[in-house]
Structure 1
Amino acid sequence: MKKASKHIVILDHLYGEILDPLDITPIRGETTGQTGSQDFSTLFKKQYKDKKVISVGWQENPDLEKIVELEPDLILMTGERKDLYEDLSEIAPTVGYL
């Protein structure tokens, strides 16, 4: 039996909207929606206000070093960053949609 992920990094705030109703909340890191900002989307902040989620940079240019530091056991990405798939897969199992 496979164990559930406990340290997820998401590269799109929409994953937070999907995972929250499923009661999957072990998110460690998330990208921001604006360049140069460390702020998460308003909805994401509301859903995860009691969680210690770390910014891993802007979703157009995630900080791979920061992702490595968080030691994720799963990375959820979008097809918009498929160019990073190989690099992300070296950090942790990576799943995404196109």
Structure 2
Amino acid sequence: MATRVFSDEELEALRSFPAIGKDEQLTGDPAWRERALGWIDGYHDGHGHGPSWRTFWREPSLWPEDATLSLLNTVMRQLGEGGHLAGTKTPFGLRRR
């Protein structure tokens, strides 16, 4: 699988895009939230550990095509704060709470 390394300037530009509205559309949608958490469960069942954030973020069936780094970080924070997601500070520890 090919990966792309972002320059410092590109990362800063990605961080500057607001995640206004889209984050609530995703985390506030029970069907999306269940699909995302189900995907994490399936990954864990298949690999014996949770996915990395990057693996989760790169799952195209979960995210809008125009998802930004800001949106992804905001959604992860909201899922954690909402009590839906655990293991965000442990490598390969991402899991449903």
Specify if TM > 0.5: no
The structure with more helix, counted as a fraction of residues: 2
Q: Max radius of gyration: which structure?
A: 2
Q: Name the TM-score, length of structure 2 as normaliser.
A: 0.29
Identify the structure with the greater strand proportion.
1
| Higher RCO (C-alpha 8 Å, min separation 6) | 2
